[in-house]
Structure 1
Amino acid sequence: MAAQSATPLLKVEGLKQYFKVNKNFTVKAVDDVSFEIYPGETYGLVGESGSGKSTIGRSIIRLYDPTAGKITFDGQDISGRLTHAQNNTLRTQMQMIFQDPMASLNPRKKVEDIIGEGLDIHHMYKTQDERREKVEKILEKVGLAPEHAERYPHQFSGGQRQRVGIARALIMNPKLIIADECISALDVSIQAQVVNLMKDIQQETGTAYLFIAHDLSMVKYISDRIGVLHLGHLLETGTTEEIFADPIHPYTRSLLSAIPLPNPVVEKRRVAETYDYATSGIDYSKGTSHLVSGSHYVKCTDEEFAKWCK
């Protein structure tokens, strides 16, 4: 686990992201979410499809303008209107790896130009030879050969394309990488390769990750701390051990109980817990953050907390 420094690299406080559909209806994609990411650590954000995971990632990197809340990155408030200097800092120090490795790469550009685009925009080289050398070095770091720089995205497999996406994020030497379900489109064996590559790069460079996924076993493997998201609300957060050993919220318990077990004898006896928000009697909007132990927090009312932790 990454050693936590006293100051978080990213601090999200009361983030709200609403999308107005028409004059009568607004989608509350993210509602009052708060969490912190420390330098060099991996924060896993899990939840079912449509819970607001990707929206949080896009709001943090400012692809969306947050409806409300405060986002502090590396000591700077980036939640409001960005100055030119803040924009430059954000575009170099924070990068994103997208979910679909084919859709996120320009099919008309060679890999060398895809990876080097950030260097071109921010003038981070003096000669073309220096640019080529930087691209080849980062390709080598993600397990690709220098000759791959001359190819187009359609000439690669899915796993190789995702490595190109990782290389594009890494070449800027960012402090934070937002990995938006970057392994969900890959085969299981390739997923393991990509996640191991990300762990190796983190040890080498000290980059922090916001790892967005719905594969709990993979999140358990890569994350130092985990946040559980449902219907735009962050219900529970804590270290990987705290969440998996002692889940408090019924939704978290239902998620963990759904993980298949590799032992067929035990798997036969496994009973998955069911959870339906509509019939649960729980109102997320009334919940507040309660400390369970250490860094383990659960969002609920006082009565629910007393009932769940008795």
Structure 2
Amino acid sequence: MAVNYNAEPILTVDGLKQYFKVSSSFTVHAVEDVSFKIYPGETYGLVGESGSGKSTIGRSVIRLYDPTAGTIKFNGMDIGGKMNKETNKALRTQMQMIFQDPMASLNPRKKVRDILGEGLDIHHMYKSKEEREEKIKAILAKVGLAPEHVARYPHQFSGGQRQRVGIARALIMNPKLIIADECISALDVSIQAQVVNLMKDIQQETGTAYLFIAHDLSMVKYISDRIGVLHLGHLLETGTTEEIFENPMHPYTRSLLSAIPSPNPAVEKNRVAETYDYKTSGINYGEGTYHHIGGTHYVKCTDAEFEKFKNMPRLEY
């Protein structure tokens, strides 16, 4: 579905910081001054290497962590600070998360019927047991599982089936935004394609927005409308999928894209991956500001760095 960028964003994150105090003398700065917006029906891909802060952002947005600083607005509600009862209930029903490891995030002692029904039970979203059962079986059918699977335990499913249960658990609340935290990284490539296609089909049907966190750039390219590139807790570059892949500006983004292997052996044989080391790059993330390149394309850097980035040769990959 076409995304309307003139509409009100479903999620607005502004100046998000997430620090973790390890000891009296040491604090981990996991996320540093990150800002982005997600529009209704949009898939926003968040990419970066392991440890860059992707999952931390997702967990801060859904308030599994209390943000150190910054504002988070979801569907017109301020959810960045202390929430009242109504706001908390709206957040818990309208925003859901699909976790990276389906085996770790599904209760091994509960059957699928109770795993999927837990949210319905907590928020009283049915009038009878029959309606509860109907909702559970309908959402299972939507994710490609059979009605009789309601009586199974998580260990009785394959990895792909377990992830479908995780998706069903998120969808049963009929959310406006789903945070998919590396939800395909533990699956086989063929199963990854099935799960991602399922997510796209559901988005077409329901209009749900996704914050898609991943490090597989080819999959992010396939599913995302816009992409944000994260490194060391800083959002370095953001734009539509075409803008990022056709005209990467930041050296870190270029290094990520140049590392994608080509299926063409002749091209792959001559491919040279660009290297990037922040310590020796001379780039200072803390001093950078967002420079507008065109459309929805922005890069975070100083004025001098921006002039340097503009004169870099076009990336061939």
Q: How does 1:19-34 map to 2 (within 5 A)?
A: 19-34=20-35
1:43-79 residue CA offsets vs partner (Å, 9 max, x unmatched): 0000000000000000000000000000000011110
SS at match of 1:126: coil
CA distance in 2, matches of 1:124, 1:185: 32
Residue of structure 2 in register with 1:235 after alignment: 236
CA contact (8 A) 1:236 1:299 kept: yes
1:71 counterpart SS class: strand
User: Letter of the aligned partner of 2:187 in structure 1?
Assistant: L
Q: What is the distance in 1 between the residues matched to 2:286 and 2:38? A: 24
Does the alignment pair 1:179 with 2:180? Answer: yes
Deviation at 1:143, TM superposition (A): 0.2
1:152: which partner in 2?
Answer: 153
- Determine if contact 1:54/1:212 at 8 Å carries over to the other structure: yes
TM-score by length of 1: 0.99
Q: For 1:300 and 1:32, how far apart are their aligned partners in 2?
A: 13
| Residue-pair matches, total | 310
Query: Aligned AA for 2:3?
Result: A
Using the alignment, how far apart are the partners of 1:46 and 1:2 within structure 2? 22
CA contact (8 A) 1:2 1:224 kept: no
| Distance in 1, Cα, partners of 2:232 & 2:34 | 11
Percent of aligned pairs with the same amino acid = 81
Matched, 1:212 2:219: no
The alignment partner of 2:306 has SS state of helix
Distance 1:247 1:109 in 2: 46
Partners of 1:200 and 1:2 in 2: how far apart? 14
| 1:237-276 equivalences in 2 (<5 Å) | 237-276=238-277
Structure 2 CA distance for aligned equivalents of residues 56 and 282 of structure 1: 23
Question: How far does residue 105 in structure 1 lie from its aligned partner after superposition?
Answer: 0.1
In 2, Cα distance between the equivalents of 1:115 and 1:262?
A: 40
Q: How many Å apart are 1:114 and its aligned residue?
A: 0.2
TM-aligned CA deviation for residue 309 of structure 1: 1.1
Residue matched to 1:188: 189
**1:23 Cα deviation (Å)?**
1.0
CA distance in 2, matches of 1:289, 1:116: 44
How far does residue 254 in structure 1 lie from its aligned partner after superposition? 0.1
For 2:256 and 2:249, the matched residues in 1 are separated by 12
> Which deviations, in whole Å up to 9, do the C-alpha atoms of 1:179-207 show, x marking residues without a partner?
00000000000000000000000000000
Q: Which structure 2 residues correspond to residues 1-310 of structure 1 after superposition, within 5 A? A: 2-4=2-4, 5-310=6-311
TM-score (norm 2): 0.97
Distance (whole Å) between structure 2 residues aligned to residue 267 and residue 64 of structure 1: 42
Name the CA distance, whole Å, in 2 between partners of 1:137 and 1:237.
37
For residue 271 of structure 1, give the secondary structure of its aligned residue in structure 2: coil
Structure 1 CA distance, aligned partners of 2:25 and 2:279?
Answer: 22
Cα distance in 2 for partners of 1:294, 1:158 equals 39
Following the alignment from structure 2 to structure 1, what is the Cα–Cα distance between the partners of residues 89 and 40? Answer: 20
Q: Report SS of the residue matched to 2:170.
A: helix
Which consecutive residues of structure 2, in runs of 5 or more, have no partner in the other structure? 312-317
CA RMSD between the two structures: 0.6
Paired AA for residue 98 in structure 2: I
Q: Is the 8 A contact 1:42 1:210 kept in 2?
A: yes
Q: CA deviation at 1:6?
A: 2.1
Q: Distance in 2 between matches of 1:274 and 1:187?
A: 28
Cα distance in structure 2, aligned partners of 1:213 and 1:138? 25
After TM superposition, which residue ranges in structure 1, 4 or more long, deviate above 6 angstroms? none
| Ranges in structure 1 where 5+ consecutive residues have no aligned partner | none
Equivalent-residue separation in structure 1 for 2:85 and 2:78 (angstroms):
13
2-structure distance, mates of 1:6, 1:89 = 21
Q: In structure 1, what residue type is equivalent to 2:35? A: S
Letter in 2 for 1:284: Y
Deviation at 1:2, TM superposition (A): 2.9
Q: CA deviation at 1:247?
A: 0.1
CA distance in 2, matches of 1:144, 1:2: 29
